[in-house]
C-alpha cells in the first residue's frame, strides 16, 4: 500500500446494504471544504442531512477509512445510472478534499491523485468493477451535483488503470474509414439540411448516445435544462478542455483567474447550479457545431470501448 490510511476516525452515518446488492460502482466526490471540516461533516451523527463516504482522501494523499465497504454509506443521494436509481446501495464512495468550484477551486495535487488511484485500484479489483463504472457524482446526479468538477484529472486516472477515457484518435480513424466506404456507395450528395434542423438532429443524436452510455437524459430533441446539465456533466468528466478552453478564449489567463472573475457568476438561483462552467453552451441554448461534433466523437469512442469489452456488465 503506497498511501497512509487512518482508521481512528469512523463515521456513524451508514446502514446495512440491501440484501443481494451487487457492489459494482465507484463514485468520486470533492468535499468543497478543508480536511477538518470534511471530517466533521462526514462523521456528524446530528446533522439534519447525515452524510458519509467510505473514504476521504486529503490533499496530502493521506486516506481516512470512515465506513467499511460492506456497508451502505450516504454519499450519492438522489442519483441514477442506466435504470439503477439507488446508487448508494451499489457503490463505494470516495470523498476528495478540494475547495470545490468557486474562487478557490484548484487542481488536485499529485500526491492526492496517486492515493486516489491506488485506493481505487484496490476497490475495483476487490469488487471486480467494470472500468466504465467509475463515475463522478455529477455523472449520476447531473444538474444537482457538479463534483468532482473539470479539474479532476480523469484522463490521468484512466492512464493509471482507473476508469475509462475516450480515445479520440482511434475512433477518428475508424470513422474516416467508414465515411470513405459510404462515399463510394452513395452516388448523390445528401440534401443540404437547414441549419436548425441539423442542430436538432445533433441534439437528438447526442441525447441517444448519452442515454446509451448510462446518463439519465430525456430524449426530447431539445436542449432542455436536464439535457444541458447532462452535457455539462459529460464535458466535466470526458472533455474538460472544451470547458476550460472557452474560458481561455474569453481572455482569462488561468482557471483560477476565470473563477475569480465575478462577472461569470449569474445572479439568482443556487450557486451550485450556476457555476461558471455553464458557459460552455451558447446563450441561446443551441450547441455550436464544433461542440456537437466533439461530444459525438467522444461518446461514440466510449460506447465502442464498452461494446468491445468481453464481459461488459451493463
Ligand atoms: Zn458529491
Is the confidence at residue 314, as pLDDT, over 50?
A: no
Q: How far is the CA of 266 from the centre of ligand 1 (A)?
A: 22
Q: 264 falls in which pLDDT band (50, 70, 90)?
A: very low
Instruction: Give the pLDDT of residue 255.
Output: 52
Q: How far is the CA of 31 from the centre of ligand 1 (A)?
A: 7
Q: 246 falls in which pLDDT band (50, 70, 90)?
A: low
Q: How far is the CA of 201 from the centre of ligand 1 (A)?
A: 33
Q: How far is the CA of 87 from the centre of ligand 1 (A)?
A: 12
% the chain with pLDDT above 90: 64
Q: Pairing relation of β-strands 134-136 and 63-65?
A: unpaired
Determine the Cα–Cα distance for residues 24 and 22; give it in Å rounded to an integer.
Answer: 6
Is the confidence at residue 138, as pLDDT, over 60?
A: yes
Q: How far is the CA of 29 from the centre of ligand 1 (A)?
A: 4
Q: Are 206 and 296 in contact (CB under 8 A)?
A: yes
Which is more confidently placed, 280 or 130? 130
Is the confidence at residue 49, as pLDDT, over 70?
A: yes
Determine the Cα–Cα distance for residues 165 and 182; give it in Å rounded to an integer.
Answer: 28
Q: Are 173 and 132 in contact (CB under 8 A)?
A: no
Instruction: Give the pLDDT of residue 146.
Output: 93
Determine the Cα–Cα distance for residues 262 and 279; give it in Å rounded to an integer.
Answer: 14
Q: Which of 69, 95, 232, 300 is catalytic?
A: 95
Instruction: Give the pLDDT of residue 287.
Output: 80
Cell representation of residue 157:
486516472
Mean pLDDT of the chain: 84
Is the confidence at residue 188, as pLDDT, over 90?
A: no
Is the confidence at residue 48, as pLDDT, over 90?
A: yes
Q: Give every CB contact of residue 186 below 8 A, 6+ residues apart in sequence.
A: none
Question: Where do the H-state alpha helices sit in 188-279?
Answer: 195-213, 225-238, 240-249, 255-260
Mean of the pLDDT values across residues 106-113? Answer: 96
| Least confident window among 16-25, 41-50, 68-77, 240-249 | 240-249
Instruction: Give the pLDDT of residue 209.
Output: 98
Determine the Cα–Cα distance for residues 24 and 53; give it in Å rounded to an integer.
Answer: 16
Total H helices, total E strands in the chain: 10, 8
Mean of the pLDDT values across residues 291-295? Answer: 93
Active site residue 183: no
pLDDT in tens, 83-99: 999 999 999 999 999 99
Instruction: Give the pLDDT of residue 172.
Output: 66
Angle between the N-to-C axes of helices 289-307 and 168-185, in degrees from 0 to 180, rounded to the nearest 10? 100
Distance (Å) of CA 64 to CA 5, 95, 119: 6, 10, 11
Is the confidence at residue 141, as pLDDT, over 70?
A: yes
Segment 224-230 long-range contacts (CB within 8 Å, at least 24 positions apart): 225/143, 226/142, 226/143, 227/203, 228/278, 228/281, 228/285, 229/142, 229/143, 230/142, 230/143
User: Quick check: helix, strand or coil at residue 176?
Assistant: helix
Distance (Å) of CA 218 to CA 46, 125, 130, 196, 303: 37, 33, 25, 20, 18
Nearest to residue 199, comparing CAs of 280, 118, 121, 284? 284
Q: 189 falls in which pLDDT band (50, 70, 90)?
A: low
Q: How far is the CA of 182 from the centre of ligand 1 (A)?
A: 44
Cell representation of residue 244:
476550460
Q: Are 152 and 28 in contact (CB under 8 A)?
A: yes
Is the confidence at residue 260, as pLDDT, over 60?
A: no
pLDDT in tens, 146-184: 999 999 999 999 999 999 999 988 766 666 666 555 544
Domains in the chain: ranges and CATH: 5-159 (3.40.80.10), 168-307 (no CATH)
Instruction: Give the pLDDT of residue 290.
Output: 87
Q: How far is the CA of 186 from the centre of ligand 1 (A)?
A: 49
Q: 259 falls in which pLDDT band (50, 70, 90)?
A: low
Is the confidence at residue 283, as pLDDT, over 50?
A: no
Amino acid at each position: 500500500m503506497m498511501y497512509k490510511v487512518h482508521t481512528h476516525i469512523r463515521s456513524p452515518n451508514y446502514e446495512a446494504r440491501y440484501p443481494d446488492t451487487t457492489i459494482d460502482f465507484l463514485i468520486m466526490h470533492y468535499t468543497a471544504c478543508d480536511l477538518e471540516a470534511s471530517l466533521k461533516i462526514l462523521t456528524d451523527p446530528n446533522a439534519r442531512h447525515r452524510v458519509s463516504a467510505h473514504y476521504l482522501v486529503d490533499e496530502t494523499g493521506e486516506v481516512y477509512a470512515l465506513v467499511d465497504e460492506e456497508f451502505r454509506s450516504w454519499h450519492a443521494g438522489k442519483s441514477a445510472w442506466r435504470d439503477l436509481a439507488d446508487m448508494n446501495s451499489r457503490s463505494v464512495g470516495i470523498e476528495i478534499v478540494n475547495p470545490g468550484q468557486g474562487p478557490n477551486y484548484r487542481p488536485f495535487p499529485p500526491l492526492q491523485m496517486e492515493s486516489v488511484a491506488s485506493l481505487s485500484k484496490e476497490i475495483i479489483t476487490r469488487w471486480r468493477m467494470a472500468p466504465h463504472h467509475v463515475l463522478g457524482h455529477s455523472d449520476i446526479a447531473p444538474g444537482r451535483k457538479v463534483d468532482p468538477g473539470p479539474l479532476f484529472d480523469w484522463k490521468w486516472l484512466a492512464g493509471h488503470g482507473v476508469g475509462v477515457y475516450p480515445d479520440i484518435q482511434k475512433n477518428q480513424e475508424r470513422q474516416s474509414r467508414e465515411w470513405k466506404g459510404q462515399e463510394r456507395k452513395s452516388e448523390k450528395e445528401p440534401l443540404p439540411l437547414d441549419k436548425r434542423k441539423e442542430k436538432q438532429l445533433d441534439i437528438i443524436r447526442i441525447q441517444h448516445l448519452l442515454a446509451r452510455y448510462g446518463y439519465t437524459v430525456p430524449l426530447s430533441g431539445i436542449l432542455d435544462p436536464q439535457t444541458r446539465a447532462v452535457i455539462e456533466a459529460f464535458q466535466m468528466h470526458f472533455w474538460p478542455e472544451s470547458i476550460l478552453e472557452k474560458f481561455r478564449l474569453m481572455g482569462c489567463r488561468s482557471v483560477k483567474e476565470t473563477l475569480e472573475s465575478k462577472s461569470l457568476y449569474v445572479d439568482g438561483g443556487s450557486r451550485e447550479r450556476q457555476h461558471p462552467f455553464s458557459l460552455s453552451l451558447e446563450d441561446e441554448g443551441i450547441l455550436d457545431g464544433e461542440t456537437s461534433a466533439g461530444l459525438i466523437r467522444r461518446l461514440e469512442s466510449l460506447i465502442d470501448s464498452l461494446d468491445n469489452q468481453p464481459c461488459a456488465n451493463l
